[in-house]
Chains A and B, each alone.
Chain A
Amino acid sequence: MPTFTINGMTASVPDGTMILEAARQIGIEIPHYCYHPKLSIAGNCRMCLVEVEKFPKLQISCNTVVTEGMVVRTDTEKVRKAVTGVLELMLIHHPIDCPICDQAGECGLQNYYMKFGLHKSRYALEEKVHKKKVQDIGGQIVLDAERCILCSRCVRFLREVTGTCEMEFFSRSDHSEISIFPGRPLNNNYTGNLADICPVGALTNKDFRFKCRVWFLKSADSICPGCANGCNVMADFKGDILYRFRPRRNDAVNRTWLCDAGRLEYKKANDYRLLTPVIREAGQAIAAAWDAALFTTALRLREAIEAHGPESVAVIASPQSSNEELFLVRKLAAEVVRTPYLGFSSLTPGRRLEDDFLIKADKNPNSQGARLLGITEEGFVRTVKAISEGRIRALLVFGSGLADFSDGETVALLSRVPFVAQVATNEGALSRAAHAVLPSASFAERGGTFTNFAGRVQRFQPGFPPRGKAKNDIEVIAGLANQLGAGWKFAGEESVFRALAETARPFSGMSYESIGDLGREARDGGPPSGGR
């Protein structure tokens, strides 16, 4: 643990820490472009120069290890001049097309220019070297070579993280360019990260381009609902529309990365939403008030229980639901309805891509949470069997689909049940067939916890209130339970979690506070190896 001094402040850092990281830890920002904590050191942007006592030349802080007694200064005239000088050189060929650049507002050049530059250009416009703009290089990425500052983060990402090496430097001197090889577009499942790590507007995301100026966006800490890995994300929104996911650093789960499929998961909060309760009678769908919809659903469940016993009612839970919601679903099934037919399926239709990095075959964020709460896939199989044998008179389904069933299979199966109520966020074959559709809030509109494949319990936060008439699942489940005479009193997800932690052993001792921003492993929650 060497102790060093920076700008007169003294601090101790672990052996091997670079000056740049050490400074960051004590709140001193050293400007940089090529340095990225999850990539190898390139040392070529030359922005992070600092003065180190006993070194005649300025040193790059990204590649200078802190040693005992080292004296570093980032606030001298020499450093300021050097940093401004490098920034000026970086900008001489830059097209300064901020008004039409999507990076504006989160651009390293803009930010550092305001902080360290503010110089007048000494380079004539007509002398700028021009390069190709708007090149679709594959994946989610558009390349603008003119805006590139050649920091090589993208090249290193593709070499070191995906191992696919699609991008390289071409040419030399001020005609240097980073691009793909001719006819060989980006070909990996993590291309979206390139736009994140690009400190300027050279690599932008096709999906997000020109959709929204970033300064209008607000952000909620969330969890990608696209698979069981539980990648930490920032869900960026304006009003009640989500615009994008960006990865949020969590070294135990996704480091700072996100897969391309996950990156587009935000769309589920925007598109094909169920926004109003619907009651379907004699084939006629009627928009209903929440009271009426809940009343009808509860009534039909009670009728079935009274006429055919509790085992004539089934509940299918969703691995898209939070731990809190699943806890209440189980409570509803076991304590209120008292049916043995409760289960969930982690299967989903379509190809279930999987790799050895972030992408898991289980396309649900909370299958492991369901399991830990005692809801089983075996229960789902039993339930489906009971339905197909005509033994189920009323069915309560959570989620938009049934396992990996096709639309036809779903409709055929449900035709055997006299009453189907669905609680879901998005439209589908189920919502078109169900007798009661209860619209539920998307992941961006509610809070809770998911348990990832490795048993790590992580929180996701609401960005904005539910759209339309959609309601938080907790309210819907409690509403149904109370209509059936349960008398539950839960005020929000945190109170549900407290009850959950008291009764479900894997979660015992946990609280929202102890889970924090980065999550915490459930007890006996998953394979010992954990996430990556």
Chain B
Amino acid sequence: METVLTTHFADERYRHVDTYVQYGGYSALRKAFSCPKERIVEEVRKANLRGRGGAGFPAGVKWGFLPKDLSRPRILVINADEGEPGTFKDRQIMSRGPHLLIEGIAIASYAMTIHSTYIYIRGEFVREAKIMEEAVAEAYAKGFLGKNILGSGFHLDVYVHRGAGAYICGEETSLINSLEGKRGWPRIKPPFPASVGAFGLPTIVNNVETIADVPWIVNNGGEKFASLGVEKNGGTRLIGVSGPVNRPGVYELSAGVLLREVIYTHAGGLKDGKQLKAVIPGGSSTPVLRPDEIDVTFDIESMGKIGTMPGSGGVIVIPEGACMVRALSVLMNFYAHESCGQCTPCREGTGWLAKIVGRIENGQGREGDIELILDVCDNMMGRTICPLADAAVMPAQSFIWKFREEFDRHIADKKCPFGNKF
């Protein structure tokens, strides 16, 4: 099948500008400069390009939220704070095809009349940040960034900014605060970033993969891109498969692919012929699925029908023999650690959930603990400034709803039936 992003990823030189140009890179940027700006936005809208960071918001629509008035400068921020557990696709783009992102940035910035773009990279991505910086320098040297790009009269500066390792800074307003040098706390909305964002200016925050798709859309047209996917979910998706499978890794697949195919065809099925016990489809925040639910395509609507979402495309495979309580305990500790501490329900609730799930796993669960978890979840869901509380609640609820018997057994037996091994 046709690929948008990973076509030349096998070539290690592809990360350098010369090789990228040899493969036809930056042709979309030239083409973009010959198009009216509205046309580019229109193609992106037609492409049904949904945000790849997790929420799946249509990119073209998001771009349209910028105020029409051009009197204040606007900012594009690339969210490269890839921190969702189970997700490692943007890292692939940045380390193997950084110019895809830079060309996408240049086109998107041109289309939105933006002259400053910040790439906010997760603090732990030291290597990727270095590659990105080199690539940005190359692009400046070749005239793809900077003043009067390719003689178009358009100028653009791109800054690579490293985060400091907080999961919460993947949330766009938190990221903006962090970029400004402030504590990484989500902002209350309204105002939304498109009207008041980074440095008080209208700001669009897009995921790495989303923007990296833009050059292909410009070259091949929005409709072509849309046709690679399914209805309302245009294009391909980078899907990262982790867990005990034979071929873990990142796969570029149509949104129409079945989750079963992702696991068994592309990732080669489970190691040692083990049975599948559960799968988290789109990063740790997305509700878990049972093996009988994996005949679902990887698009937002189909996943939504069965109460989950493709999120950031991080498929986490959980094999037979693994303890679901243990798995949830690990996740709950993660969210308790990463809650920014701003809103009461999340600050206190994530820690409470981690404690309850932890004690169940340790054989100290109490009668009523499961109902308590569900009630605490109820008091957290939808009650906070950003979706971190929801992100903690969704796995907690779904693990209990779908694997309740394991929780009950932990409490009844006063120990982990799997001998605490994961």
Q: How far is the CA of A289 from the CA of B383 in the complex (A)?
A: 69
Most buried by B among A60, A82, A174: A174
Q: How far is the CA of A86 from the CA of B382 in the complex (A)?
A: 12
Inter-chain residue pair count (beta carbon < 8 A) = 90
CB nearest neighbor in A for B340: A172
Contact B345 A169 (CB under 8 A): no
Q: How far is the CA of A417 from the CA of B337 in the complex (A)?
A: 77
Q: How far is the CB of A155 from chain B (nearest CB, A)?
A: 10
B-facing residues in A31-45 (Cβ within 8 Å): 41-45
Q: Is A24 an interface residue (CB 8 A)?
A: no
CB nearest neighbor in B for A57: B382
**A43-B341 contact given A90-B348, A174-B347, CB 8 Å threshold:** no
Main secondary structure on A side of the interface with B: loop
Contact A88 B379 (CB under 8 A): yes
CB contact between A173 and one of B190, B339, B378, B383 (< 8 Å): that residue: B339
Q: Which residues of B contact A89 (CB under 8 A)?
A: 344-345, 347-349, 352, 376, 379-380
**Residues 313-347 of chain B: 1 if any A CB is under 8 Å from the residue's CB, otherwise 0?**
00000000000000000000000111111111101
Q: Is B249 an interface residue (CB 8 A)?
A: no
Q: Is A176 an interface residue (CB 8 A)?
A: yes
Most buried by B among A47, A81, A82, A86: A86
Q: Which residues of A contact B383 (CB under 8 A)?
A: 46, 49, 58, 82, 85-86
Contact B385 A43 (CB under 8 A): yes
CB nearest neighbor in B for A174: B351
**Residues 245-257 of chain A: 1 if any B CB is under 8 Å from the residue's CB, otherwise 0?**
0000000000000
Q: How far is the CB of B354 from chain A (nearest CB, A)?
A: 9
Q: Which residues of B contact A86 (CB under 8 A)?
A: 344-345, 379, 383
Contact B349 A122 (CB under 8 A): no
Q: Which residues of B contact A46 (CB under 8 A)?
A: 343-345, 383-384
**A174-B344 contact given A58-B382, A63-B188, CB 8 Å threshold:** no
Q: How far is the CB of B342 from chain A (nearest CB, A)?
A: 5
Q: A46-B384, A85-B383, A86-B383 are in contact. List 16 more A-B contacts (CB 8 A).
A: A42-B188, A44-B344, A45-B344, A46-B344, A57-B382, A58-B382, A85-B378, A92-B348, A93-B348, A127-B355, A169-B183, A172-B338, A173-B341, A174-B347, A174-B348, A174-B350
Q: How far is the CA of A45 from the CA of B343 in the complex (A)?
A: 6
Q: Is B372 an interface residue (CB 8 A)?
A: yes
Q: How far is the CA of A92 from the CA of B352 in the complex (A)?
A: 9
Q: Is A150 an interface residue (CB 8 A)?
A: yes
Q: How far is the CA of A118 from the CA of B347 in the complex (A)?
A: 22
Q: Is A149 an interface residue (CB 8 A)?
A: yes
**Residues 174-190 of chain B: 1 if any A CB is under 8 Å from the residue's CB, otherwise 0?**
00000000010000101
Interface bracket on B: 20 to 34
**Residues 160-183 of chain B: 1 if any A CB is under 8 Å from the residue's CB, otherwise 0?**
000000100000000000000001
Top-3 shortest CB links A-B: A85-B379, A176-B341, A174-B351
Contact A173 B344 (CB under 8 A): no
CB contact between A90 and one of B190, B340, B344 (< 8 Å): that residue: B344
Contact B379 A150 (CB under 8 A): no
CB contact between B344 and one of A122, A149, A172 (< 8 Å): that residue: A149
**A171-B344 contact given A82-B383, A85-B378, CB 8 Å threshold:** no
Q: Is A357 an interface residue (CB 8 A)?
A: no
Q: Is A405 an interface residue (CB 8 A)?
A: no
Q: Is A272 an interface residue (CB 8 A)?
A: no
**A44-B343 contact given A172-B337, A174-B336, CB 8 Å threshold:** yes
Contact A172 B385 (CB under 8 A): no
Q: How far is the CA of A60 from the CA of B348 in the complex (A)?
A: 18
Q: Which residues of A contact B183 (CB under 8 A)?
A: 168-169
B-facing residues in A80-115 (Cβ within 8 Å): 81-82, 85-86, 88-90, 92-93
Contact A123 B188 (CB under 8 A): no
**Residues 2-46 of chain A: 1 if any B CB is under 8 Å from the residue's CB, otherwise 0?**
000000000000000000000000000000000000000111111
Contact A82 B341 (CB under 8 A): no
Contact A44 B351 (CB under 8 A): no
Contact A173 B338 (CB under 8 A): yes
Q: Which residues of B contact A49 (CB under 8 A)?
A: 383
Contact B341 A172 (CB under 8 A): yes
Q: Which residues of A contact B166 (CB under 8 A)?
A: 172
**Residues 385-402 of chain B: 1 if any A CB is under 8 Å from the residue's CB, otherwise 0?**
100000000000000000
**Residues 128-165 of chain A: 1 if any B CB is under 8 Å from the residue's CB, otherwise 0?**
01000000000000000000011000000000000000
CB nearest neighbor in B for A40: B188
Q: Which residues of B contact A93 (CB under 8 A)?
A: 348
CB nearest neighbor in A for B184: A172
